[in-house]
């Protein structure tokens, strides 16, 4: 029996897109890369890089709901329910990296808090729920938010996690979380400033935020230009540097206190163009 033929890649048109302004300054950006129908632009005032035109919300939801969205990326060949593939997934390089990052990030969380796991942890952008599942096993009381219906269904139905499918602002969450994590999430959200303001309303005053993103000032991004593998204008719609991260976080009520960029650090293992950040609420 022949293997199934994968569907052709989606072709986006200008009708699928909309123009947006800088979330900090409220002004249009200046073109850096023309990737029609998308544009990668930089704010002439604050330097934040973002995509405009970008996909409209309804087109973006179609992208994240595609059952193949997580395939071939950080989940390797994907997360399947059947036991027959579990041995193959155990040695999948992408899944090995997932486990390394998860262990490294949980250890980093313990270090920055100065104590062992325990309390309420919220992950925004929970994907299939692998990090949340590990955090729960480590002793955290976990909640999650995930836009992809495919990812949220796996997290809830297969792993038994509490994951809301939708945007963070719409999630029915009780404030006072000790920890909020957002792994490779902020580059996807409609408005990072609104996202972090919502996060600030949910995090306890003595809580901590950990996040990761690609960063546009990394060596690969600067050397490769439009060939940078993480550019992905359909889905990565904001591109940060440590400086612009700090600016957006400060406007939302957080102080960026630590940035991990080394690809040798377990929390960022093998990632030449990504960083892990730690932020704390600014006293009200």
Q: Within a domain: residue 4?
A: no
When pLDDT is cut at 50, 70 and 90, the band that residue 212 belongs to is very high
Q: Is residue 5 part of a domain?
A: no
Is the pLDDT assigned to residue 213 strictly greater than 90? yes
- Domain contains 190: yes
Q: What pLDDT score was predicted for residue 1?
A: 42
In whole angstroms, what is the distance from residue 126 CA to residue 148 CA?
Answer: 9
Centre a 10 Å sphere on the Cβ of residue 211 and count the other Cβ atoms it contains.
Answer: 26
Task: With a cut of 70, say whether residue 89 has pLDDT above it.
Answer: no
Q: What is the DSSP letter of 240?
A: B
Quick one: pLDDT at residue 93? 76
Q: Which residue has the higher pLDDT, 210 or 58?
A: 210
Backbone torsions φ then ψ of 91, nearest 5 degrees: -105, 10
Classify residue 8: in a domain, yes or no: no
Residue 127 lies in a domain: yes
Is residue 9 predicted with pLDDT exceeding 80?
no
Please determine, for residue 75, whether its predicted confidence score (pLDDT) is greater than 70: no
Q: What percent of the chain has pLDDT over 90?
A: 79
Q: Has residue 72 got a pLDDT over 50?
A: no
CA distance 92 to 138: 23
Give 92-143 pLDDT, tens digit per residue. Answer: 777 888 999 999 999 999 999 998 889 999 999 999 999 999 999 999 999 9
Domain span at 264? 18-281
| Residue 113 forms part of a structural domain | yes
What is the distance between the alpha carbons of residues 177 and 144, in angstroms, rounded to a whole number?
12
Q: Band of the pLDDT at 61, cuts 50, 70, 90?
A: confident
Mean pLDDT of 193-202: 98
Q: Which has more pLDDT, 79 or 115?
A: 115
How far apart CA 240 and CA 248 sit, in angstroms, is 10
Structurally, how many domains does the chain consist of?
A: 1
Mean pLDDT across the stretch 15-28?
97
Lowest model confidence (mean pLDDT) among 57-66, 89-98, 214-223, 267-276? 89-98
Q: What is the pTM of this model?
A: 0.89
How long a stretch of residues is the chain? 284
Q: What is the mean pLDDT of the chain?
A: 90
* Alpha carbons 69 and 261: distance in angstroms, whole number: 26
Residue 78 has pLDDT above 70, yes or no: no
Q: What is the mean pLDDT of residues 216-235?
A: 96
Residue 92, pLDDT score: 73
Q: Which residue has the tokens 């400033």?
A: 193
The pLDDT tens digits for 140-179 are 999 999 999 999 999 999 999 999 999 999 999 999 999 9
Burial class (CB in 10 A: 0-12, 13-18, 19+), 196: buried
Residue 7 covered by a domain: no
Rounded mean pLDDT of 213-238? 96
Among 74, 23, 9, residue whose Cα is nearest residue 51: 23
The CATH number given to whatever domain includes residue 234 is 3.40.50.150
- Answer yes or no: is 277 within a domain: yes
């Amino acid at each position: 029996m022949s293997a199934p033929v994968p569907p052709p890649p989606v072709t986006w048109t200008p009708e699928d897109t909309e123009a947006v302004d800088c979330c900090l300054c409220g002004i249009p950006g200046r073109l850096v890369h023309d990737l029609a129908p998308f544009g990668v632009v930089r704010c002439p005032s604050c330097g934040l890089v973002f995509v405009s035109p970008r996909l409209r919300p309804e087109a973006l939801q179609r992208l994240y709901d595609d059952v193949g969205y997580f395939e071939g990326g950080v989940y390797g060949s994907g997360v399947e329910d059947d036991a027959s593939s579990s041995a193959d997934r155990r040695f999948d390089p992408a899944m090995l990296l997932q486990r390394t990052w998860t262990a490294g990030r949980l250890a980093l969380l313990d270090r920055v808090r100065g104590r062992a796991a325990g309390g309420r942890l919220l992950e925004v952008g929970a994907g299939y729920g692998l990090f949340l599942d590990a955090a729960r096993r480590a002793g955290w009381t976990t909640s999650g938010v995930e836009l992809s219906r495919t990812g949220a269904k796996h997290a809830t139905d297969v792993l038994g996690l509490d994951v809301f499918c939708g945007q963070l602002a719409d999630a029915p969450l009780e404030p006072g979380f000790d920890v909020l994590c957002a792994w490779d999430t902020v580059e996807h959200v409609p408005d990072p400033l609104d996202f972090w303001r919502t996060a600030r309303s949910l995090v306890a005053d003595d809580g901590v935020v950990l996040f990761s993103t690609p960063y546009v000032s990394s060596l690969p991004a600067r050397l490769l230009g439009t060939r940078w593998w993480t550019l992905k204008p359909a889905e990565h719609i904001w591109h940060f540097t440590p400086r612009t991260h700090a600016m957006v976080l400060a406007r939302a009520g957080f102080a960026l206190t630590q940035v991990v960029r080394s690809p040798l650090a377990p929390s960022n293992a093998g990632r030449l163009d990504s960083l892990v950040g730690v932020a704390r609420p600014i006293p009200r």
